Structure 1
């Protein structure tokens, strides 16, 4: 069972977005524009943009890694205008290998998200490439604009924060109302205080930043390893700079058309409801239940009743949360904890026991379950060690003031002050945050996702979908759909966003 469930976890549950290949058909000819050229296909002219000066030195908290900061154009349409700081981390290969061969170049990495830090992921993703690769190639992580050690996208407000919901996503009509009010609060705050960065945060900008770093280090081609959302970044780079595509490995592929605009019939569907994540989560859990039952009680103790346990716990929590003292456990907590636990293959056996314990706690003792939350927290902690970006839906909840998830956020890698570029002054990230603000937060996930993707502009489209007959059949649809609710009327407008076509022929196949 362990092997089978691990396969379920790593294929159907992917990493950050849970892309489900079964739900993403190949692009049809009527959905894409035929591209026969191998020249960059869209956006500002990059040919005359000057490559940045890079000065590498040991990172302050990880001395075996090298850190640097690049100053790059905030707007590539105006390369001589304001600059933005982009944080870099490098796991350097030896200049000469033990076999006597010289270093071959660089592999750029991205762990997914959007909103995840690539500089943080170098330590984990590098070894996944194998000793032979890391002996001959440097591994570089570039923090996307607005995220991690790059100039941060941050919004703030002096207005009182709206009342938060008591779960990971809204279920009742009252919770939906509160959640939409929170979205509107963040929207207004970001429009007033965060536009300087969020107007330049699309994936295409990160692809252009990667191209500038490639030029700065002198590589003729860009080699790349991207996971989940990171595959969208890879596809975007390949579409914009096909002539310099080297070797690219795409792991847990996100359908770029579904992400950017949606395929035919998906035009009015929120991005997080159309990329296959809800279907992938349900298929993976159903497969785990089937394998647990097949394995028998000696290897998976609750296989005979595990599906019943899941269904009855959902039904009970949908009617009312369970409360004991100051602790309350909701339907959305149950769905969210299950999703997070599925992000790590090693958690599946424990997940079956945890769902059974939740069933007993909710339906018999009427108390908040403890095992499932612990399993989710353990999976979250271990996933970060392994550079598995936690679900985009969880990142969105973190940005929307969830203290439990904020506490688990990874620490940034510090760039030594002396390594920050001296040639020019970077643009201030946004309107300075005053001491008397009522709320402030980073908006990395929304900043990228809402710039990249086409979404409904009526906020009511989110509760409409999550209360539909479709959502009643798949509890993960509500969890994932609400992750993008902030994109309705999002204030950030990146004029150099890229949304396809993605069928440009690169110099080397992906």
Structure 2
């Protein structure tokens, strides 16, 4: 699960550039637009609001196509989703040079997100302040817990009042049916698809709704679909991302041993007593709280290539005279964020009593200090947000399909733990796990071995031998 939440919120901006030359036939039902980000072709497809009733209402999916560079030898289309829920996916990456040459790559903003039809929870910009307090953090005291529960309920109440009917048609089951409409619109008899993080859950759902239409599905940073959809406790606890945090952190600390002079747990002890003031690259004094430090460390640990930045951040906390790196990422689109939240809450069984999150967070904290409550409280809105979608899919997950390729990082993934990928290999009807010997979130683009297997899989359908382990192209600090 990759539902990223920042403490500062804003509005996403779509970059518009030159129109790419039309390089492929226009699929029926897709309306192409006059302007787009350079290199892509932009369009949209209207799909039913609901696949369960005969309502004439529709929602709009924003799509973009990255044309194959070798159109004469093009093999078809690969659809892509980067994760979330709540993350735009319209402008998909090239995946690998070989795949960019032989396939059109089509990305889309799922319903509720980005330039697709969205929900709107707020009627006044001032209401965004409560969202900043409610999401992206976790309480350290009972008093703070009550405040967060109250703020979160204010947000979910506003969504129930203002979001409209779309909020009850945002489950992954419904989005998977949208993906099947996209497949058909582009004339593909079978689905070729690359999904990362939440995109793996979308792929798993598609595979079990439409097993006969599975062509090649590569699922990178694998969510366990059974634990996502069902089970006791908050879904964010069931997925156990925090259980990989100590493994990923230790991999980082081992790689940093010859360079790092700080004591990681001593830094956390100091932060628990109160904020630490650091100096940002612009020379401004910034107060770092325990919660905001955990959020930044979590982000840096999702990419082993960010090890030097994480080292600099921890050094600044240990010695405030050291310069701190800039904060990672930018502000999310609040409407897309809450659209993704509606997907999360529609998909997953969660308790209806917000008070139970405290005990689950404490339990998780004993496994992954700081990371446990940071993870667990991501789903607190699901306790008070009454969203339901009759299109929800909750299993079974083992329908026979063509081979599905799973990718995962063996040394730890704080968003989608390695053990979840191992369970999913056994759970799906026909899956093979390919592992990368590093930590972080996602394997594509980090290893020539991984990318070569992706190329081979999409072109021929071949999967690696069981137990194959790839090495990364670069080690932390390497």
Identify the TM-score tier after normalising by the shorter chain: 0.7 to 0.9
Partner of 2:105: 139
Matches within 5 A, 1:61-460: 62-93=37-68, 96-97=71-72, 101=73, 103-120=74-91, 122=92, 124=93, 126=94, 128=95, 130-157=96-123, 162=130, 165=133, 168-262=137-231, 267-268=232-233, 270-293=234-257, 296=258, 300=259, 302=260, 305-306=261-262, 309-322=263-276, 327-361=286-320, 371=324, 374=326, 376-377=327-328, 380=329, 405-406=330-331, 409=332, 443-460=338-355
SS in 1 for 2:121: strand
Deviation at 1:335, TM superposition (A): 0.8
SS in 2 for 1:246: strand
Deviation at 1:359, TM superposition (A): 1.5
Question: Highest relative contact order (Cα 8 Å, sep 6+), 1 or 2?
Answer: 1
**Residues 148 and 469 (structure 1), Cα distance of their counterparts in 2 relative to 1, 3 Å cut:** closer
1: CA distance, partners of 2:255 / 2:58? 53
Deviation at 1:352, TM superposition (A): 2.0
Partner of 1:417: none
Answering whether residue 390 of structure 2 is matched by residue 495 of structure 1, we say: yes
Contact 2:83 2:199 in 1 (8 A): yes
Q: Which runs of 5+ in 2 are unaligned?
A: 5-26, 279-283, 406-478
Q: Which runs of 5+ in 1 are unaligned?
A: 1-14, 19-50, 381-404, 411-438
Aligned length: 375
Deviation at 1:65, TM superposition (A): 0.7
1: CA distance, partners of 2:226 / 2:310? 33
Larger radius of gyration: 1
1: CA distance, partners of 2:143 / 2:362? 13
TM-score (norm 1): 0.68
Deviation at 1:134, TM superposition (A): 2.1
Deviates more, 1:313-322 or 1:168-177: 168-177
Deviation at 1:73, TM superposition (A): 0.5
SS in 2 for 1:118: coil
SS in 2 for 1:154: coil
RMSD after superposition: 2.8
SS in 2 for 1:116: coil
TM-score (norm 2): 0.72
2: CA distance, partners of 1:351 / 1:200? 39
Deviation at 1:95, TM superposition (A): 7.2
